[in-house]
Amino acid sequence: MSPIKEVIINNKTNVNPIWIMRQAGRYLPEFREIRKKNTDFIKLCLNQNLSSEITLQPLKRFELDAAIIFSDILMLPYGLNQKVSFKKNFGPILGQLNLNEISKLDDVDFVERVYPVYKAIDLVSKNDLTKNKSTIGFVGAPWTLLVYMINQQSPKVKLKDNFFKDNFLINRTLVVLEKFLKIHIKNQIESGAEIIQIFDSWAGLLSENDLPNYVYIPTLNLVEYVKTLNTPVICFPRGIKNYKNYCEIVKPDAICIDYEIDPVQIEKEIKIPVQGGMSPKILLTSKENLKKEAKKYLDIFKDHPYIFNLGHGVLPETNPDMMDYLVKMVKDY
């Protein structure tokens, strides 16, 4: 059993597994080489040979305990025939959401559009580099995908003023999303994903009162589904204030925390395995500072099942040597 599964399934506290969100990507020179020649991001995600190669790049460099497939949460709207493109220094741009079209979409058509993602997972899970390590598949949470699909761009830029006005559109889209997210999850697991992570990157946009309708219930439906497939599920509701409530309602197998939450409070309140926490910006400072910050999280969770990770993805300007230093430090702790 991989060290990550040991922590999640057996609640082991004597191992310190580590993997990092966005560990495959922008900060690695070997990734940049590939990206230079492949400017269309969606096409790159749909190139099973290149996406599996990118997924394995960090495992060639660092002693990480998992490979997370190089893909994107927006492969889901892409699979639903919504136009998705990425603009440099701006982020994703999505086409108009056609509710009629996505409601009529056939499972087979969806799977066909995103099939190379499953092929890439298959290639990664069978590679020697992932022996005794976990292959992680992932999806965006219904709420976060809904935000992108209706807003047509990152809410970091701006959330449409009238976002909540069309209740029918919101509720109907959530129904469609649940159906296809389950298909997407099942195919990832059948292709070799041993763990599923659900990213709710924009959960922090909602007030406490709106969380049940948009975050708790839709995510709980997915978590229960993943559990029926005998696969551990990690949830990352970034930006929410009440992780305790979230865990009690959604019941993931492990919870990923962001860097704005107090880890001491999490350790006291949360019973399930915890992942993440440290700010990615720490990797842009000094080795002394990195050691101090990483040790802080390791010390706080030393008697709690814990998977070392960051509280968000690796930043593009990160020096790979700092990542190497961090991985070795966690392994030697």
pLDDT tens-place string over residues 266-299: 999 999 999 999 999 999 999 999 999 999 999 9
Pull the structure tokens for residue 281: 């910006």
What's the confidence (pLDDT) of residue 90?
Answer: 87
pLDDT tens-digit readout, 91-112:
899 999 999 999 999 999 999 9
In this predicted structure, what is the pLDDT of residue 159? 82
Share the mean pLDDT of the chain. Answer: 97
Looking at residue 158, its pLDDT comes to 75
Question: 143: part of which helix (H) or strand (E)?
Answer: helix 142-151
Alpha helix ranges (H) inside 2-45: 3-10, 29-37, 41-45
Q: What pLDDT was estimated at residue 84? A: 97
Q: Enter the DSSP assignment of 18.
A: B
> How far is residue 235's CA from residue 248's CA, in Å, rounded to a whole number?
12
- How far apart are the C-alpha atoms of 248 and 271, rounded to whole Å? 10
Average of per-residue pLDDT across 196-220: 97
Among 300, 303, 291, 139, smallest CA distance to 221 is for: 139
Q: With b meaning 16 or more CB within 10 Å and e meaning fewer, what string describes 112-148?
A: ebbebbbbbbbbbbebeebeebbbbbbbbbbbbbbbb
Query: Is the confidence at residue 157, as pLDDT, over 90?
Result: no
What percentage of the chain reaches a pLDDT higher than 90?
95
Size of the chain in residues: 333
Q: How much is the pLDDT for 82? A: 97
Euclidean distance between CA atoms 72 and 138, whole angstroms: 8
Do 5 and 232 meet the contact criterion of CB atoms below 8 Å apart? yes
* Residue 162 banded pLDDT, cuts 50, 70, 90: confident
What is the per-residue pLDDT across 127-139, written as a single tens digit (0 to 9) for each? 999 999 999 999 9
Q: What is the pLDDT of residue 89?
A: 80
Please, is 221 exposed, middle or buried when counting C-beta atoms within 10 Å of its C-beta (0-12, 13-18, 19+)?
Answer: middle
Cβ count within 10 A of residue 332: 7
Can you name the CATH fold of 3-332?
TIM Barrel (3.20.20)
The answer to whether residue 331 scores a pLDDT higher than 80 is yes
- What is the tens place of the pLDDT at every residue in 240-255? 999 999 999 999 999 9
Task: Examine the pLDDT at 88 and tell me if it is beyond 90.
Answer: no
pLDDT tens string 1-53: 999 999 999 999 999 999 999 999 999 999 999 999 999 999 999 999 999 99
Instruction: Calculate mean pLDDT across residues 187-216.
Output: 97
Cβ-contact 331, 300 below 8 angstroms: no
Q: Encoding tokens for residue 304?
A: 């709690």
For residues 182-202, average pLDDT: 98
Sign, CA dihedral 169-175-181-183, equals negative
The pTM (predicted TM-score) of the whole model is 0.97
Q: What does DSSP assign to residue 15?
A: -
pLDDT for 249: 98
User: Are the C-beta atoms of residues 124 and 52 closer than 8 Å to each other?
Assistant: yes
